[in-house]
Amino acid sequence: MADPNNNPQDRIRIFDPDGLPLAEFRAAVSRSWAIGDEGRAQFVYPSRKTNVVNEKVLQFGNWLLIENTHLPPWVGVFDTPRTAATRTSTPSAYTPERVFAQRIGPLEEVVTGSPGTIFQRILYYVNLGDPTIIKAGTLWQGGVARSETLNPSPLDKSLQRIQERSMEEYTWRPVVDAAGRLGVYADWLPLLGEETSALLHEGRGGGNVEAVGSIMVEDGDIVNDVLAFGEGLSWQSKPNVRRFDVNSIGKYGRRQASVEYSGVSDLQTLIDNADAYLQQHREPVRSFKINALNVGDTFKFMRLGNRMPLQFENVGFYAGGQGLQTTVRIMGMSYDPVVAGKITLVVEEVL
């Protein structure tokens, strides 16, 4: 059973756009994390507590930091919507992708290098003009070199494109220095998370997870024959490659797709993108939405990217009967202190 005496404890602080501290307070802040996507935080606070509910503290562009005894830190920037009722105010904050969405790239620049190098260039344009507190952290420079074109589209789109094409990942690492000033370090890694031995299990004898609606969903387009093409004035001039996955074709029949990679003219980059696309689409994605329960030290393993065994007694098929035993990876998670004994997880099967 969940132990209410072991519930996570939050420390909540707000900083100005330069990272200087403005307020520290207690509230029930619900928040979410996701790999390669924007997370959101929100809380309701009494308007009579004007040390927090005032224009200086809740200003759009200020930073919210939540540190926790069990869960990973959450950091993000205040933005719309902000709602007010008769006695309460409800601000919203978003992970640093929101800052990328508010900055645009150059007119046109072809960047060649590892995905980490390209990410560093995107971060340069985020901080061009008015610098932010987002800084380059640990940037993995391995992986296959590629060429990508940056243009005046919002830089969160460039970030998403590079992350999806390379299948590498990033995370935000908040650090408060000895002077109390907040900095947000952007880390680029080949893969988030780690292998863990912590078992997620459900069953009649108890467990540390519970089902949320449809426990298992098999979804996503299956593609095993892809034509990847890049920039060109005509089909004859567009660079292109054709890539196949023989095992998937044998299992599901031939399933074709064509995918455009705008801004790509380098043939090797197209090959890398096509291979990554096939890796993502050669099998249907089996995803699971479950609640992790605060049993034992379960919450300490709740980190984006972590991989762990998952076991169900009455879902799926296993060893000629009912049940499921597989390995999953945490792709997204959300937490609401109002229900402190649960973390909602979105996990995907690791093939």
CATH code at position 24 = 2.40.10
Q: Which domain holds residue 234?
A: 225-281
Res 21: pLDDT: 98
Tell whether pTM > 0.75. yes
* Counted domains in the chain: 4
**Does residue 141 belong to any structural domain of this protein?**
yes
Cα gap 277→223, rounded to integer Å: 9
> What average pLDDT does the structure give for the chain?
90
Tell me: pLDDT of 9 over 70: yes
211 or 137, which is more confident? 137
The separation between the first and the last C-alpha atoms of the chain, rounded to the nearest angstrom, is 31
Q: Does residue 297 sit in the same domain as residue 256?
A: no
69 assigned to some structural domain: yes
- Tell me how far apart the alpha carbons of residues 23 and 58 are, in angstroms, rounded to a whole number: 10
Shared domain for 38 and 149, answered yes or no, is no
Closest CA to 313 of 229, 197, 202: 202
Q: Is there a contact between 14 and 57 (Cβ–Cβ < 8 Å)? A: yes
Q: Tell whether the model's pLDDT for residue 62 goes beyond 90.
A: yes
User: Does residue 323 surpass a pLDDT of 90?
Assistant: no
Q: Which of 71-85, 185-199, 209-223 has the lowest mean pLDDT?
A: 209-223
Residues 320 and 295 in one domain: yes
Q: Are residues 340 and 209 located together in one domain of the fold?
A: yes
Tens digit of each residue's pLDDT (9 = 90 or more) over 134-181: 999 999 998 888 888 999 999 999 999 999 888 899 999 999 999 999
Question: Nearest Cα to 12, choosing from 70, 66, 57?
Answer: 66
Q: What is the mean pLDDT of residues 308-319?
A: 70
Q: Same domain for 206 and 331?
A: yes
Determine the average pLDDT of the residues in 81-107.
96
Are 270 and 311 in the same domain? Answer: no
Of 94, 118, 134, which residue sits at a domain end?
94
CB crowding 62-88: b at 16 or more within 10 Å, else e: bbbbbbbebbbebbbbbbeeeeeeeee
Rounded CA gap, 56 and 91, in Å?
A: 13
